[in-house]
Amino acid sequence: MFRRAKRDQADFSEELRAHLALEADRLRAEGLSQEDAYARARRNLGNITHSEERFYEAGRWLSFDHLRQDVRHALRQLGKNKGFTFVALLTLALSIGANTAIFTLTHAVMFRALPVGGPKQLYMLGDGKNCCDLGGYDQGNYTLFSYPLYKHLRDQTPEFEELAAFQTYTERVPVRRSGDTVPAQPFVREFVSGNYFSMFAVQALYGRSIVPRDDVPGAAFVAVMSYRTWQQYYSSDFSVIGSSFTINGQTTTIAGIAPPGFFGDTLRSDPPDFWMPLAAEPAGSGQNSLLNRPNRHWLYVIGRLKAGTQTAAAEAKLNSALRQWLTDVAGSNPGVESRKTIARQRIQLTSASGGVEHMKNSYADGLYLLMTVSGLVLLIACANIANLLLARGTANRIQTAMRIALGAPRKRIIGQMLTESVVLALLGGAAGLFVAYTATRAILLLAFRGSHYIPISANPSIPVLAFAFLLSLVTGIAFGVVPAWIASHSDPAEALRGANRSSSTHSSLPQKSLVVLQAVLSLVLLTDAGLLTESLRNLEHQQFGFETDGRLIVSVHPSLTGYSRERISLLYQQLRQRLENLPGVLSASLSGYSPMQGNNWNQHIFVEGLTNQPSTSLDRVSPRYFETIGTRLLRGREFREQDTQSTPHLAVVNQTFAKRNFGDEDAIGRHLGLEQSDEYEIVGIVEDAKYQNAYKPAYPTVFLPLLQMPPNDWAKADLPASSSFRDIELHIVGRMDGSEQRIRQALADLDPNLTVINVRSFGEQVSATFNQERLIARLTELFGLLALILASLGLYGVTAYSVVRRTSEIGIRISLGATRTSVMSMVLRDGFLQVAIGLLIGVPVVVAASHLLGHRLYGVKSYDPAVLGGAILVLATCALIAGFVPARRATTIDPMRALRTE
Amino acid sequence: MITREEKTRVALLQGTLDLLILRTLVFGAQHGQGIARAIQEQSEDVLLVDHGALYPALQRLESQGWISAKWGISSNNRKARFYTLTKDGRKQLVQETGQWRKLAAAIGRVLGPETTEG
């Protein structure tokens, strides 16, 4: 329709002129004078203008011109009808904006490729759904790899241009620029293999990136700094490149700055500030080093497949390499059992164009939910505007009838009305982009509350703009098509005859159905919002098994490599003493993990009297730990100052552990251990507390004193790792203002190797785990509210309009003796009936829709009658108010005036 | 256009102009005026082409892809738009010619043998 005609008007006119000249030539040759010949030729050609018009009408310019006229007409109409335009644009801007905002997030999290070279060629080994640091050889679907295994796979697979490995988790470590006087600050570091940057085809912006020769034992330590860090913390100072930094105690040269936008392998809220070669890992970890242990799987592997290589071929090669390696590890003569286990292990390639998709995995569900919810709001908005257009269409009936009577083709009427809706929708969409930008920013702030960095940009990208444009177009057609159809089918004779009298319910049925639809959708949204809010409330106010009031958590990175056992023991004692002496501090404790901190240590342990080794959460804690975090001691005792390395080794267990392993028998006095079952004696039982997942009951947990371990275990690498503390808990009175500075000071005074990562209230730590739930609940509430307002507006509009149309009828009723009350109830009944039908249809729809929410809900059933009842009540109240205003106006109709209006 | 002094000429039946244009172009590329002349001359001045109808017809045939056009220079050195028959146009011509002959024969049968009286 918009395609340009093959020829333009000028070309055609020129052809006619050429014809005239040729014809005149001929006539002159026949003997006519110059003038006569030309006049004759002209006469023979006939009316040139007429020909030109016929040419024009046959061309495609006509439809283009019609479109232009329609757009102009639409803009004029919109300008004339300011109230309607304002309401419609506002509705559209909000609903298209909301959808675009959610799409911006979904696109960034779900579909965006890593900002690296040729992301489509990247494949990850396994799905990346497991994390961190796994022992043993039985993963089934391998996705975590030890360094020796990675090297073996890398050398066996020429199918990959590069196969690079990197740490599955990042760590905050103390960093200080050499020569700086300020104490070390915590920065995020990630270890990567030497070919990591070349695998991603990423070059350093300045300086150089890490190369394979940096990743060999004995190489000088180098690091690549992220562009963001360079800008934010080192004010783009070029002297940083090549200068020397102390990163976690190691003197390191900054080789280069990564390009802007490169955030590494994973979209996350704490991307690495520094990348360092894997070979530098042992230096900072001492005896806890993971690098050369074949059984510790702590790396992800991503490779760039050579062009033209089938993934299946590469996969087959990887699998045979994996099994061969496992067989080698199992020794020359593996038993039947381990042969079976080896046969079960495999590697599956998954596309890594988006990198490691942790964020996608954890947000996918929530984003789809939000897309559905915002889509419903858009549907309601469409229904609303369609309704307004229908009402206006009825008002314009006479005009339309006149046009049809004068010969306007049906196609033109529909085209013109659709153009108007699409123009309206596109204007609304443009306004929606601003709404989307603001909303996306607000959502990001809510979603990444307490994060150092927001990895997603709110700026609309090309796909987002395209989405908004298409959505507006579809929206315009969706709400315009029914009114246009109805208008084009109005019977001119009837319309002209009927004037303003309207016994006909021609358009009121679609109008009423739209109100019913709105009621149904609003009920769904309101109920869902209610359920999610209730669920969040239950999550946040559940019995956690600890107290958050008046508690602070200080996260620390202690670099205690090389400290003797005695020195560490003394440090722990002094630390607690110092903190407890601070004003306002009631008690202080140290622990490996505090509840809901995000990390956890899990291990199979030996229990006296049990043949199997139950999987158990392990935590190492100082004296007064339970008292400080407010977990109640049910039986026995906590650890005391007097429990040292040389006194009998003790354990405290939680209720679930006691019940699961000992049943009704007494747990106190029983023994357990990490290597054998007689290392620790259980002296206390504490109530269950949630440490990891707020949705699930507490996991069986064993608490051990920080430093009690069998003497020869101290030399074993894993155990000291579990004994070093990461969190300090403080129970304080009064406000926490100023205490942060005192705490930092106390730690710095005692030992400069204790780098504080952050200080926050226990409440904040717990509530940060519900960021996603809170975001979804708040947005659903917002969308529910929007839906409610739109539906009320819709009902108000339809009722008010029907009152206007029935003015004379109501006037007659009043003059015949109808009381104000009966008029009012008549109007109200009408509006209420639609809502009632909506509710009637809505309830089963809601029950079905809420069922899909089931797995997101905590402590509330998807068919919770209180929530559903509340939603019905709110909707009914709004309907009543929306109907009441026009109903009251109906009662004030003056019968004489009403009859005179015709 | 039929003028008074040329009464012996016959106006074209609707739809036949397209066929005659296609037929004329079988002999090679030609411009609008030339086509009109050719039809007139071939019909021994019996058929008269309405020049006003000619160009919309050419436009129509061109958009259907039966003829193609490009600007060139005429034999007497004037710029003119020359039309050529396309492959599709040739097919169309064969088909329409057949139809026309069938129609003419049928009409002839209905009208009966020709009387010599004028």
pLDDT tens readout for residues A656-712: 999 999 988 888 999 998 888 888 999 999 999 999 888 888 999 999 998 887 766
Residue type present at position A557: H
A338: its two tokens: 């381990």
User: Looking at residues A881-894, what average pLDDT do you find?
Assistant: 85
For the stretch A529-550, pLDDT in tens is: 999 999 999 999 999 999 999 8
B45 interface with A at CB cutoff 8 Å:
no
Q: How many CA atoms lie within 13 A of A876 on its CB side?
A: 13
Which of A6, A45, A55 has its CB closest to that of B51?
A: A45
> B50 lies in a domain?
yes
For the stretch A60-74, pLDDT in tens is: 556 677 788 888 888
Q: How far apart are CA A186 and CA A554, in angstroms?
A: 13
Residue B6 pLDDT greater than 60, yes or no: no
B18 interface with A at CB cutoff 8 Å:
no
Instruction: Phi first, then psi: give them for residue A674, nearest 5 degrees.
Output: -90, -30
For the stretch A405-434, pLDDT in tens is: 777 778 888 888 889 899 999 999 999 999
Q: How far apart are CA B15 and CA A16, in angstroms?
A: 22
> B118 lies in a domain?
no
Pairing relation of β-strands A134-135 and A206-207? unpaired
Interface pTM (ipTM) of the complex? 0.79
Q: What is the pLDDT at residue A711?
A: 66
For the stretch A337-368, pLDDT in tens is: 778 888 889 999 999 998 898 888 888 888 99
Which of B59, B62, B74 has its CB closest to that of A22?
A: B74
Q: Do A54 and B56 touch (CB under 8 A)?
A: yes
Q: Do A58 and B59 touch (CB under 8 A)?
A: yes
Measured between beta carbons, which residues in chain B are less than 8 angstroms from residue A55? 55-56, 59
For the stretch A463-495, pLDDT in tens is: 999 999 999 999 999 888 888 888 887 777 766
Q: In angstroms, what separates the C-alpha of B110 from chain A's closest C-alpha? A: 35
Residue type present at position A89: L
Q: Among residues A40, A53, A44, which one has the least CA distance to residue B52?
A: A44
Residue B9 pLDDT greater than 80, yes or no: no
Measured between beta carbons, which residues in chain A are less than 8 angstroms from residue B52? 45-47, 50-51
Q: What is the pLDDT at residue A333?
A: 66
Q: Do B52 and A26 touch (CB under 8 A)?
A: no
Q: Do A15 and B81 touch (CB under 8 A)?
A: yes
User: Looking at residues A561-581, what average pLDDT do you find?
Assistant: 85
Tell me if A677 sits within 8 A of A606, measured CB to CB. Answer: yes
Residue A507 pLDDT greater than 60, yes or no: no
Indicate the SS3 state at residue A617: strand
Total count of domains within chain B: 1
Q: Is A641 exposed, middle or buried (0-12, 13-18, 19+ CB in 10 A)?
A: exposed
Length of chain A in terms of residues written? 902
Which of A15, A21, A46 has its CB closest to that of B1?
A: A46
A112: its two tokens: 């965006």
Q: How far apart are CA A234 and CA A237, in angstroms?
A: 6
User: Which residues does A contribute to its contact with B (CB < 8 Å)?
Assistant: 6-7, 12, 15-16, 18-19, 21-23, 25-26, 43-47, 50-51, 54-55, 58
- Supply the range of the domain harboring residue B104: 4-111
Tell me if A214 sits within 8 A of A194, measured CB to CB. Answer: yes
For the stretch A230-252, pLDDT in tens is: 999 999 999 999 999 999 888 99
A525: its two tokens: 């949204």
B34 interface with A at CB cutoff 8 Å:
yes
Q: In angstroms, what separates the C-alpha of A45 from chain B's closest C-alpha? A: 5
Q: How far apart are CA A370 and CA B44, in angstroms?
A: 80
> B117 lies in a domain?
no
B76 interface with A at CB cutoff 8 Å:
yes
CA end-to-end distance (rounded Å), chain B: 24
CA end-to-end distance (rounded Å), chain A: 44
Q: What is the pLDDT at residue A639?
A: 93
Q: How many CA atoms lie within 13 A of A311 on its CB side?
A: 15
Measured between beta carbons, which residues in chain A are less than 8 angstroms from residue B74? 22
Interface A:B, Cβ pairs < 8 A? 59
Q: How far apart are CA A677 and CA A491, in angstroms?
A: 92
Q: Do A6 and B34 touch (CB under 8 A)?
A: no
Q: What is the pLDDT at residue A434?
A: 92
> B72 lies in a domain?
yes
For the stretch A710-751, pLDDT in tens is: 766 666 655 455 567 889 999 998 776 778 888 888 888 888
Q: How far is CA A82 from the centre of its chain?
A: 37
Report pTM: 0.74
Q: How far apart are CA A478 and CA A471, in angstroms?
A: 10
B51 interface with A at CB cutoff 8 Å:
yes
Which pairs from A319-326 meet CB under 8 Å and 24+ separation? A319/A346, A319/A347, A321/A152, A321/A153, A321/A156, A321/A157, A322/A142, A322/A149, A322/A153, A322/A346, A322/A347, A324/A156, A325/A149, A325/A152, A325/A153, A326/A137
Domain range summary for chain A, segments of one domain joined by +: 1-59, 119-353, 363-540+771-900, 560-752
Q: What is the CATH number of the domain that holds B73?
A: 1.10.10.10
Rounded to 5 degrees, what angle do the CA atoms A635, A638, A640 make?
A: 150
Q: What is the pLDDT at residue A496?
A: 64
Q: How far apart are CA B78 and CA A506, in angstroms?
A: 64
Q: Among residues B34, B48, B75, B19, which one has the least CA distance to residue A15?
A: B34
User: Looking at residues A435-453, what average pLDDT do you find?
Assistant: 85
- If pLDDT is split at 50, 70 and 90, which confidence band does A5 have? very low
A524: its two tokens: 């769904």
Tell me if A149 sits within 8 A of A300, measured CB to CB. Answer: no
Q: Is A151 exposed, middle or buried (0-12, 13-18, 19+ CB in 10 A)?
A: middle
Q: What is the pLDDT at residue A82?
A: 81
User: Looking at residues A187-203, what average pLDDT do you find?
Assistant: 95
Q: How far apart are CA A617 and CA A607, in angstroms?
A: 14
Length of chain B in terms of residues written? 118
Q: How far apart are CA A235 and CA A228, in angstroms?
A: 10
Residue A769 pLDDT greater than 70, yes or no: yes
Q: In angstroms, what separates the C-alpha of A418 from chain B's closest C-alpha? A: 29
Candidates A8, A23, A42, A45: best to mutate against B (most CBs of B within 10 A) is A45
For the stretch A297-319, pLDDT in tens is: 999 999 999 988 899 999 999 99
Among A44-53, A202-211, A257-266, A861-870, the minimum mean pLDDT is found in A44-53
